[in-house]
Structure formats: C-alpha cells, structure tokens
Amino acid sequence: MQPFLVELKMTKILIIGSTGQIGSELTMLLRSIYGASNVVAGFIESAKPQGELFESGPAAAVDITNAQQIADTVRKYRIDTVYNLAALLSAVAEDRPQLAWHIGLGGLFNVLEIAREMHCAVFTPSSIGAFGHNTPKINTPQDTIQRPQTMYGVTKVAGELLCDYYHKRFAVDTRSVRYPGIVSSLTAPGGGTTDYAVEIYHAAARGETFQSPLLAGTFLDMMYMPDALRATIELMEANPDRLIHRNAFNITAMSVDPETIKSAILKWLPEFKMEYCPNSALQAIADSWPDSMDDSCARLEWGWLPKYDLHAMTLEMLISLNAI
Ligand code: SER
C-alpha cells in the first residue's frame, strides 16, 4: 500500500492508453495499490504492453474509438473506474487535427456514454494546453479565459466541458487535472511541446550537447512523474463533497525554462552543454500556454501538494538515467 493513501476504495480499474508515457507508470502504481488483478491495461494493437506491464496483470485490446470494445471490457471485468489516457500530444495533434479530435473527443464521448450506462467513474486528463494567448500567463487562475488555438487545446477544453456536463446531467463521477509537462525516465512522451524537458536529461546522460527546440525564457509548468501519478490517484480518491471544481484542476510543481533546467543539470554534470535550435511550431504552441498556473483550488479542495521541485527531480532523473 502506498503511504499517501490512508483509506482505499475497492475498485476495478480500466486504463485506456496503458502503454503511453503516463499510462505505463500509472498502471503499475495502480496495480501496487489496488491489487494487480483489479487493474486492466487497455492497449491498441500498435502499442501492446510488454514485459512487466504485460505480465503483472490483465490486459485487453481497447481502442478508445471503438465503443463496443470499451463496453465489452467494462462488462467482462466489472470495471467501475476508467482512467482515460488515450490522446495525441500537442505537436502531433497539430499535424493530425482530425485524428486528434476523433481520439480526444470522439473517444471521450464513448467513454462517458459507457460510464453513464454502466456507472463508472472517469478520469480524463486536461492540460496546460487548455489555455491560450488571452489567458493570464502568470499564476493562471483556475477559472479563467480558455480560448486555445491548437487542436490539442480545443479537445482539452471541449473535454473539460463534456466531463462537467456528464457529471451535472447524468451524475457520472468525472474528475480531471490540467497536467503540466510531465518529466519521466521510463516511457518517452512522444509528440508534445514539453517533451524537451525529458529529452534534455537523456542528452545530458549520454554526454551530448542538447539542442533546445524552445527558446530561453520560455517558461512552462512541469512536474515529475511520481507527483503526477500521486495527484491523479489522490484526486480520484478525494471526498466528492469537497470538490467544488471537477474538470479540470490546475496542478503544478515548478515553472521552468530551458536555462533553468540546464542550470540544475550543471550542478551534477558541469560539462553539460546546450544550444538553441528553435522549432517555430513548438515555440508558437509554448508561447500560447501559461508560464505558471495557480493550483490553489487543487490544494484547497483535495489537498494537492507537490513533493518534487526542479532540483529533487533533476537528481532523480540523472540517477535513474545512470548519469551520476
Ligand atoms: N505535455 C503536453 C504536450 O506538450 C502538454 O500537456 O503536448
């Protein structure tokens, strides 16, 4: 049992997108908390679970765009909670906007309809990408203007609204956080604007010069994976009577730019070098996102508190990548 949970729900969980950056680690953590046989790893044929993820518990082919497949799996395993982690990240979504909508909104609609019929709770992540140019950039409030101009952002805002609608109209227990960029050492994110914050550590560990696609001064919220996983589970375990908000809570652990991360790495690897190799598409997306979110509602309503700041995260990343 994890120390951060005092009382546990009895639950049967389906994770859709269990082989992605967050899904792969969330599945293993949920299995360690709720029992391996109670956590089904949903996957698509092109991304089957491997190794420990496959061997440690049940797995089922669940394509989020296939409502029948979701319903069959929920029925078969008597699922009561769905963690919906299927999505295209921001840069890929800009390249393939139709597919991003199909997975992000069409898929979410499938999940919510099945949750309504079969009485499941649903977690679906939102993101810093749910904000846009006219949102206050510093200390971005919980409730504020949300007019993103990326397809990723459009799906996230629409998803937040749809989840709130299903909660109010049909009493589906929907909950969500606006994840910042998530830094982890196991599974690569793939196609996000914040991916550089993962890649920089890999480059440092390999002794390579990192080519930053984002410019100095591009501040974005970030979080180390253990905090992101804990936030997710703590929100799903939170007392619903205390939740004024639901979809979705701002959460953050740090606000950093490439130079800040470089400085943190230099403390351990003084030879580390970084140069700028700007990517205009990524820069445009990053420039439309907050510098730093205000997560006080999450702190107040369900006790959110990050444990890892930049330096603690850097130390663990470099150790797990065998760099120090
Ligand atoms: N990490 C995501 C991305 O960069 C943002 O939520 O697309």
Is 152 a catalytic site residue?
yes
Please say whether the beta carbons of 13 and 39 come within 8 A: yes
Q: Is the CB of 184 under 6 A from ligand 1?
A: no
Q: Is the CB of 290 under 6 A from ligand 1?
A: no
**For range 12-20, the mean pLDDT:** 97
Q: How confident is the model at residue 245 (pLDDT cuts 50, 70, 90)?
A: very high
H/E stretch holding 41: strand 39-43
Domain 182-221+253-320, CATH: 3.90.25
Say if residue 284's pLDDT is above 50: yes
Say if residue 80's pLDDT is above 60: yes
Distance between CA atoms of 74 and 70, rounded to whole angstroms? Answer: 6
Say if residue 234's pLDDT is above 70: yes
- Angle in degrees, 0-180, between the axes of helices 67-76 and 107-118, rounded to the nearest 10: 40
Distance between CA atoms of 38 and 30, rounded to whole angstroms? Answer: 9
Q: How far is CA 32 from CA 28, 38, 204, 316, in A?
A: 6, 10, 31, 21
Lowest mean pLDDT among 50-54, 111-115, 263-267: 50-54
Q: Note the pTM of the prediction, 2 decimals.
A: 0.95
Give the homologous superfamily in CATH for domain 13-180+224-250: NAD(P)-binding Rossmann-like Domain (3.40.50.720)
pLDDT of residue 189: 87
Tell me which residue has its CA closest to atom 6 in ligand 1.
127
Instruction: To the nearest 10°, report the CA torsion of 71, 77, 81, 86.
Output: -60
Please say whether the beta carbons of 126 and 90 come within 8 A: no
H/E stretch holding 43: strand 39-43
| pLDDT tens column, 174-197 | 999 999 999 999 988 889 999 999
Atom of ligand 1 nearest to the CA of 128: 6
Q: How confident is the model at residue 1 (pLDDT cuts 50, 70, 90)?
A: very low
Atom of ligand 1 nearest to the CA of 180: 6
Query: CATH 3.90.25 region(s) of the chain?
Result: 182-221+253-320
Q: How confident is the model at residue 10 (pLDDT cuts 50, 70, 90)?
A: confident
Q: Is the CB of 20 under 6 A from ligand 1?
A: no
* Catalytic entry in 152, 179, 196, 224: 152
